[in-house]
Amino acid sequence: MQNYRIFLLTFVFMNSFVYGGRHKHRRDRNGGKVEGRIVGGEQASLAAYPYVAQFFNMGGMCGGVILNSWTIMTAAHCLAHNTDKEHMRVQAGSKYLYDFESAKYKVKSFVIHEDFNKEQAFSCDLALLFLAEPLKLGTMVKKGILVNHDKWMDDQEHNFIVTGWGWTQYGGETSKHGLMKTNLRYVSNEECRRLHDNYKLTPDMFCLYGDAVRDTCKGDSGGGVLWNNMIVGLTSHGNGCANKNKPSLYTNLWILRDWIKENVNLFVMNYCRELLMSRRHSQNYVNMTDSDSGFRTDDMDCKLTDSKNASSQNNSASVENDEIGERKKCTL
């Protein structure tokens, strides 16, 4: 596969202008060029896609998906150029690229999939960002519903919605209209491999195509792929933007779902351990109101949102996860 792009947008603010830059992972392991990428899209209502987030990382901008009030999913390659969390910020409730009315959050910790880039360039392109304080959920900031089956992986499926603030054409400007969306169709991994000159797709990748008219583009990395009100993937990489017979590649969250659950649970346990040590409590569990933060530790909202028993509303809904389910207790 040649002329790869990644969808991380690098930029520098200077005299109120935004300049596109180049990601340091300019070439893949096979020597192909790497470029980052909504093309052929339309303006999107934030109320319709309230799970979207922006991730700013030391001059780079990516999309993200709100998993719960403490956790953002994004692409692993969005952290490839910097892993110092002091230079990371998450923005939620943002209609525009730099929305001064949106809420900004610091990153407490993060985890990059341990198999990222190992089997193939961009394999396991997934990272979780854990915030220093919980998101203020509301009409414009809601949890996405994580996919819980693989029925969407069918080349008869044509209604995959992708969103982002990135380039509206390859080599062009970022969206001046704020959040954009477009629709893509599923392409089987076998067909995608053929169209990309027998490029090896790992099981955690899948392909979507917009008939050379619609596509994600640079700056859309890490943004969610919505199907039937569930988040099934994240924008990862591809060959240019809206190129003929060149589907773009996405991170398959169904395949990586167990990894997500495991690391969210680990964050909860570590958070609770730190909290208990700092409080020096000896109870079997903590059930108290923190006067500073105003939230109950036993109601800490660090669990997945799942599609099972979900009622859809404006392309997103917030429900309890059927597998993690009950609220976490901070146990000793």
Flag whether pLDDT at 294 surpasses 60: no
What are the sequence ranges of the domains in the chain? Answer: 4-34+51-131, 160-252
Question: Which of 309, 271, 305, 304 lies closest to 290, judged by CA?
Answer: 271
pLDDT tens by residue, 110-139: 999 999 999 999 999 999 999 999 999 999
Q: Name 18's bridge partners.
A: 13
Alpha-carbon span 36 to 25, nearest angstrom: 10
pLDDT in tens, 168-186: 544 545 556 689 999 999 9
Pick the more confident residue, 275 or 16.
Answer: 275
Query: pTM score, two decimals?
Result: 0.78
Class of domain 4-34+51-131: mainly beta
Q: Which bin fits 228, alpha (ψ -120 to 50), beta or left (φ > 0)?
A: left
Q: Where residue 330 falls among pLDDT bands split at 50, 70, 90?
A: very low
CA distances in angstroms from 286 to 253, 273, 296, listed in the order given: 33, 11, 9
CATH class of the domain defined by 160-252: mainly beta
Instruction: Report whether pLDDT(30) > 60.
Output: no
* Burial class of residue 216, CB neighbours in 10 A (0-12, 13-18, 19+): buried
Residue 128 CA to residue 70 CA, distance in Å, equals 10
Both structure tokens of 316: 């997103």
pLDDT at 100: 81
The whole-angstrom separation of Cα 39 and Cα 20 is 16
Q: Pick from 198, 195, 205: which is nearest to 245 by CA?
A: 195
What is the C-alpha to C-alpha distance for residues 198 and 159, in angstroms, rounded to an integer?
26
Please, is 258 exposed, middle or buried when counting C-beta atoms within 10 Å of its C-beta (0-12, 13-18, 19+)? exposed
Convert 140-183 into a string of H (helix), E (strand) and C (coil).
Answer: CCCCCCECCCCCCCCCCCCCEEEEECCECCCCCCECCCCCEEEE
